[in-house]
Homo-oligomer: A and B are copies of this chain.
């Protein structure tokens, strides 16, 4: 008998009718002979409703209490889904993060899993039960309720699959897989049958909302295959797995973009050692994640430093940097939040030179100015003006031949 972990997101359990549909799918998998663990999110809208309640109470809700509050959303889902499964004649039992032994650190609202002791789950499975597990939540060492951050249910699912040594982890969502680009922007975007963990990581961190980044990291670390499928449409889905021969033959697997960043520029920085450390040290202290950093060529002992941060942290970053700027005698600090980052991603890039320049040329042909560039082994990202984001994605999707009807395996 195999073991499969299935995860259903908030839209998939958005109302009672949908919960019943999910129950049917789960029962099907069980009757096909597999042991089944189902991880579910809160019903769509529920988490937001709870957050709104908290904000009505106070502008700055305490993080511990916030987790106590929002974790109820998943608890409602697991109870209802367990009932629905039982009503179809199968045994089922629901479990909170605490009951399932998900131990996290105490970083409320963005906790990280430290340990999973899935004994109770194993027992339930042995008794032939379908285990219904609350995604997104755990407890710290003092048994305070914690949550794993938005999308954390993916991480719960992958972590459970790893802990139980499941055969695979199936993530059911409202799209039918991972695409070469966002289909709402690029009409001929193509679903990928397979994508490597590394590529998925780059795509996820770039705003492809199919999977939470951390869940992919987890899967990569333990080589747990993830199958991303649609709850509603069926289809074959996309397998996220380790890199193989096929993948390497495709130079670029996908194009992604993100508009959630803002650019901060410190103008006229004295070009002395330790200045960058001072700026970014202070920002790191506030737990603000800096993505790209660029330092211009120094002129007359002065240099400009630009970097990007999440838009939600931009004002705070600006204030911090203004303080530092005064201390170090920089001339000015500016903020630009009308930027976008477009990226091309592909493990096949490794063996190929010229991919980056091909990207720059494609953008140049449309007169799209590149403000910042960053590269990794399997990714090239450019920061451009936000208004060109969609155009840039289409242009790149086309330039690298990713469209429907074109051969998937392609040398550039």
Hey, which bits of chain A sit against chain B, CB under 8 A? 16, 19-20, 50, 53-54, 56-58, 60-62, 64-66, 68-69, 71-72, 75-76, 78-80, 82-84, 86-87, 93-94, 96, 98-99, 143-145
Contact = CB atoms under 8 A, between A and B. Distances in A.
Contacts of A50: 76
Contact of A57 (B53, B62, B75, B80): B80
Contact of A143 (B68, B94, B98): B98
A68 B75 contact: yes
Looking at chain A's contact residues, is the secondary structure mostly helix, strand, loop, or mixed? helix
Contacts of A69: 75-76, 79-80, 83
B83 A54 contact: yes
Nearest to A60: B87
Given A16-B56, A69-B80, A69-B83, 6 more contacts: A54-B83, A57-B80, A61-B83, A66-B83, A68-B79, A68-B94
A86 B93 CA distance: 36
7 contacts: A19-B57, A57-B80, A66-B83, A68-B75, A72-B75, A72-B76, A96-B145
Nearest to A64: B93
A27 to B, nearest CB: 14
Contacts of A79: 54, 65-66, 68-69
B99 A82 contact: no
Contacts of A75: 68-69, 71-72, 75
A58 B86 CA distance: 9
Most-contacted residue by chain B among A16, A57, A66, A69 (CB, 10 A): A57
A321 to B, nearest CB: 27
